[in-house]
């Protein structure tokens, strides 16, 4: 993923006339923080990469996953810089994580890891410096613990040191659905620009965690799309007539959604108009890109398509709505949460969604006006704000 992100940046930077020195400087993170967290006799590597703060404080999530490593965190921090610039919000790029699997761990163990992570970074994060948020295997409750630890040490009481908090700790309404809602807005604007009727679209969704679930639920309810396939890590449920998600919940996305059960990778081969990638990075490469039947791919995961596969899909006439635009809803509402905390305000969900819609529309429509493949347009648009 890091290589693909850097290749996209180099391509966009060359088109903008950047020198090799300027590109090399941009690709290098401004700060890298690495330390160990202990849990009894176990030790876990912890990371925070602060890539670029040209536009504002570093911004990016924290993930707990056994496969977290420096390359992954650096790639995600770099993409956050591009994403914030593409969304035109005053934030920079950062990312963090702990090489720790929270599954089958006690609440006390997860709390200990969370507090140690906050303590390890207390001198290099803060409301005007670096504002972390939840990501893979972290959530509002874990962020609340980190906020509590940070505030105990620093005395800060704005709650603006982290975003993605629970409402009780100063979180924002609309945050849970924000990334999925942003993806729906991105697809809606793409269709509007290309005179496509959303209620005619057949959509397959890979990944039914928070992002994929809320995208599917909202797109079906508000755009009238037909969800013909839904996949998690274990299975793909397929129904050419459409899956009914009206009774589905985030913790039970297949509830009363009747369909045939196929292997989990069958979703990539589904006969559909739009393939939504909302699971993991690097799921489409040169070896399997030919399996994609959709004419539109919506990237809701970070870096789900390799650079080479992206080029091959474009050559086949497949339109890609890139991650740095499509999944920007999460960081936009994180920014809006931070604003509310700094200004001691609490906005309604309607107000948050309205501001999200306006920011997403502005970014997507500006990218589409360039009459380039959208990923190239988004990266050029972002880099033009970062030199």
Sign of the dihedral through C-alpha 109, 111, 116, 121: positive
> Is residue 250's pLDDT more than 90?
no
Beta strand pairing status for 58-64 and 92-98?
A: parallel
User: At 264, is the pLDDT very low, low, confident or very high (cuts 50, 70, 90)?
Assistant: very high
Residue 174's pLDDT band (boundaries 50, 70, 90)?
very high
Q: What is the pLDDT of residue 247?
A: 83
Rounded to 10 deg, the angle between the 210-218 and 178-193 helix axes is 50
pTM for the whole thing?
Answer: 0.94
Residues shown for the chain = 387
d(CA 67, CA 282): 14
For residue 174, CA distances in Å to 62, 166, 347 come to: 20, 11, 10
Q: Of the residues 95, 226, 269, 375, which is catalytic? A: 95
- Is the pLDDT reported for residue 255 higher than 80? no
Same fold, 2-169 and 178-326: yes
What distances in angstroms separate CA 39 from CA 45, 91, 102, 116, 309, one per listed residue?
Answer: 12, 33, 12, 10, 41
290-339: pLDDT as tens digits: 999 999 999 999 999 999 999 999 999 999 999 999 999 999 999 999 99
The CATH code belonging to domain 2-169 is 3.40.50.10860
Q: How far apart are CA 281 and CA 278, in angstroms?
A: 9
Confidence of residue 246 (pLDDT cuts 50, 70, 90): confident
Q: Is 4 helix (H, G, I), strand (E, B) or coil?
A: helix
Distance, in Å, from the CA atom of 299 to the CA atom of 86, rounded to the nearest integer, reads: 15
pLDDT of 110 strictly over 80: yes
Strand 226-231 to 202-206 pairing = parallel
Q: Would residue 104 be called left, alpha or beta, if left means φ above 0 and alpha means ψ between -120 and 50 degrees?
A: left
Q: Which CATH superfamily is domain 178-326 in?
A: NAD(P)-binding Rossmann-like Domain (3.40.50.720)
Determine the Cα–Cα distance for residues 93 and 58; give it in Å rounded to an integer: 5
pLDDT exceeds cutoff 90 at 253: no
Number of Cβ atoms within 10 Å of the Cβ of 197? 10
pLDDT value of position 281: 87
Calculate mean pLDDT across residues 229-242: 94
Specify the pLDDT at position 216: 96
Whole-angstrom distance, CA of residue 97 vs CA of residue 120? 12
Scanning the structure block, which residue is given the tokens 């920014």? 335
pLDDT band at 256 (very low <50, low <70, confident <90, very high): confident
Q: Domain boundaries in the chain? A: 2-169, 178-326
In the structure, what pLDDT confidence band is assigned to residue 192 with cuts at 50, 70 and 90? very high
Question: For the chain, how are helix, strand and coil distributed in percent, rounded to 5?
Answer: 45, 20, 35
CA dist 9 and 3 (Å) reads 10
C-alpha span between 184 and 299 (Å, rounded): 11
**Is the per-residue pLDDT at 282 higher than 80?**
yes
Average pLDDT over residues 4-20: 95
Check: CB of residue 173 under 8 Å from CB of residue 348.
yes
Average pLDDT over residues 32-43: 97
pLDDT tens-digit readout, 336-370:
999 999 999 999 999 999 999 999 999 999 999 99
**DSSP letter (8 states) at residue 172:** P
Q: Which residues contact 321 (CB under 8 A, 6 or more apart)?
A: 186, 187, 190, 296, 297, 298, 299, 374
pLDDT tens for 212-222 read 999 999 999 99
CA 342-348-353 angle, to 5 degrees, is: 95
Q: Which two tokens stand for residue 258?
A: 């009747």
Rounded mean pLDDT, 44-59: 98
Indicate whether 164 pLDDT > 80: yes
Which residues lie closer than 8 Å to 10 by C-beta, 6 or more apart? Answer: 23
For range 161-168, the mean pLDDT: 97
In whole angstroms, what is the distance from residue 306 CA to residue 170 CA?
37
95 has catalytic annotation: yes
Compute the distance between CA of residue 153 and CA of residue 383 in angstroms, rounded to an integer: 37
pLDDT grade for 149, boundaries at 50, 70 and 90: very high
Q: Mean of the per-residue pLDDT values for the chain?
A: 95
Looking at the predicted structure, is the pLDDT value of residue 1 above 80?
A: no
Beta pairing class for 274-277 and 42-52: unpaired
Q: Report yes or no: 138 and 64 within 8 Å, Cβ to Cβ.
A: yes
């Amino acid at each position: 993923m890091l290589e693909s992100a850097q290749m996209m940046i180099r391509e966009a930077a060359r088109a903008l006339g950047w020198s090799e020195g300027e590109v090399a400087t941009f690709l290098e993170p401004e700060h890298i923080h690495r330390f160990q967290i202990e849990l009894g006799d176990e030790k876990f590597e912890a990371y925070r990469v602060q890539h670029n703060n040209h536009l504002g404080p570093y911004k990016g999530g924290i993930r707990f996953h056994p496969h977290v490593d420096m390359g992954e965190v650096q790639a995600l921090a770099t993409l956050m810089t591009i994403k914030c610039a593409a969304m035109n919000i005053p934030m920079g790029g950062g990312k963090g994580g702990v090489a720790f699997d929270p599954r089958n761990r006690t609440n006390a163990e997860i709390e200990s890891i969370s507090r140690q992570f906050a303590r390890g970074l207390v001198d290099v994060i803060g409301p005007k410096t670096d504002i972390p948020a939840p990501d893979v295997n972290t959530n509002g409750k874990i962020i609340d613990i980190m906020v509590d630890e940070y505030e105990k040490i620093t005395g800060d009481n704005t709650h603006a040191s982290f975003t993605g908090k629970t409402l009780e700790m100063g979180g924002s309404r609309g945050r849970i659905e924000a990334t999925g809602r942003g993806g729906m807005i991105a697809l809606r604007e793409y269709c509007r620009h290309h005179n496509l009727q959303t209620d005619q679209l057949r959509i397959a969704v890979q990944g039914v965690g928070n992002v994929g679930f809320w995208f599917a639920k909202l797109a079906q309810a508000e755009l009238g799309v037909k969800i013909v396939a839904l996949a998690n890590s274990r299975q793909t449920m397929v129904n050419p007539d459409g899956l009914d998600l009206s009774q589905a919940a985030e913790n039970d996305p297949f509830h009363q959604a009747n369909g045939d059960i196929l292997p989990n990778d069958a979703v990539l081969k589904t006969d559909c108009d739009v393939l939504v990638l909302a699971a993991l990075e690097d799921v489409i490469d040169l070896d399997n890109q030919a399996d994609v039947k959709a004419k539109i791919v919506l990237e809701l995961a970070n870096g789900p398509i390799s650079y080479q596969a992206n080029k091959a899909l474009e050559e086949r006439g497949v339109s890609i709505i890139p991650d740095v635009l499509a999944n920007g809803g999460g960081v936009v509402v994180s920014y809006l949460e931070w604003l509310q905390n700094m200004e001691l305000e609490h906005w309604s969900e309607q107000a948050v969604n309205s501001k999200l819609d306006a920011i997403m529309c502005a970014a997507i429509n500006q990218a589409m006006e360039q009459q380039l493949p959208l990923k190239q347009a988004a990266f050029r648009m972002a880099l033009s704000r970062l030199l």
